[in-house]
Amino acid sequence: MALGSSLLATLILALAVAAKPVEIVDNLVHLPLVKRTNAANITNVLQRDQARAQALKNPKSQAHKRRASGSISATNQAEDYVVEVGIGSSGTTYTLLVDTGSSNTWVGAGKSFESSSTTVDTGDSVSVSYGSGSFSGTEYEDTVTLGSLTIQKQSFGVASQAEGFSGVDGIIGIGPVDLTEDTVNGVDEVPTVTDNLYSQGQISENLVSVYFAPTTSEDDTNGELTFGGTDSSKYTGSINYVDTTSTSPASYYWGIDESITYGSSGETILSSTAGIVDTGTTLVLIATNAYSKYQSVTGATEDESTGLLRLSSSQYDNLESLYFNIGSESYELTPNAQIWPRSLNSAIGGSSDDIYLIVNSIGTPSGEGLDFINGYTFLERYYSVFDTGNSRVGFATTSYTDATSN
């Protein structure tokens, strides 16, 4: 691949149901990805998200501390996005979760790792806990391929023990590199896939862009992941950027400051505070005090079967928009964008006739430095950019921002 053109240095990974041949259009490389639903465990979506949130609040202890031997309680992934990644001279591919909330890349949860002539066993132990899962094993180095891009000597873990990752082979972590600190024995930090693509001249900018579209089926072709640039065909208007937050622990992740208001009256749901944007979280989670306000203004009741807030049809008719105020911009979640896709109600253990909200409690009150998580149900409505080089996060509207697909 020629490196003189930024277009040629941009990799787009197109979300798809199954692996397809890599397609090059307008000098951009498209590699299929898939939104994956674990039907057996999606009923735990709130439990899983809240467990992950509590781990994320402790980036240097619970979430990324080397584990002693033994097992921990973990629920399987409910819904997530995966990409096919090649490792080694043999080109063996692995199905990896795409996670902006972690930074280690590893395999071995499903398919066993197959070493090749280019594989180097470092002998260093590695271990990461995600709250909703964990892995431990040994760190390796090898050639990693993403479409037509090749990373030399990428460091990654090979799991000897993994919990909570049914149906996938591991994770490709695209969070900030600081999250890899103390995860590998004797190593300060492990350069991420994005860092190495940039340092090896494969991409012209050290950033990742994410495009999702709302989905109403359990497996759907609905987005793109872009390394090194943005795809203007996937968003409308301009991308608006905001600096990452300096408030800890949100500052360890793709953290931003935001406030949330409700309806035409602008009633405050969550005062300006720090939180994160996370593809590894399904729902939009907010501090308990904000959750109580949101429940009050919507009139919703907690559903025993799913744990989610439930609306009657008349309450949904009166539901107003929710506004996420980030930097100088306000990002609207319309009433339809605030509800779970009704065609997937049965997948979460709900009734097909009910209306469930995708906003819920993070499990702790405001003031802890990570008071909200904008999960992928938010990202399905906005194009997002995670810019390491400029320490900022960007958002833009898409053709699905105001869609009524749910």
Positions marked active-site: 99, 278
Residue 278: name the closest of 54, 62, 32, 56 by CA. Answer: 56
- In 64-215, the DSSP E strands lie at 79-87, 92-99, 106-107, 120-129, 134-146, 149-163, 170-173, 207-212
Task: In whole angstroms, give the CA distance from residue 227 to residue 318.
Answer: 41
Instruction: State the alpha helices, DSSP H only, in 299-349.
Output: 313-317
CB 77 within 8 A of CB 42: no
CB atoms within 10 A of CB 265: 9
CB 319 within 8 A of CB 338: yes
Distances (CA, A) of 271 to 187, 281, 337, 358: 39, 22, 21, 20
Region for 293 from its dihedrals, namely left if φ exceeds 0, alpha if ψ lies in -120 to 50, beta otherwise: alpha
Q: Across the strands, what pairs with 139? A: 157
Q: What is the largest CA-CA distance in the chain?
A: 64
Radius of gyration, alpha carbons of the chain: 20
Task: In whole angstroms, give the CA distance from residue 151 to residue 198.
Answer: 10
Structure tokens at 345: 């109600």
Task: In whole angstroms, give the CA distance from residue 347 to residue 14.
Answer: 25
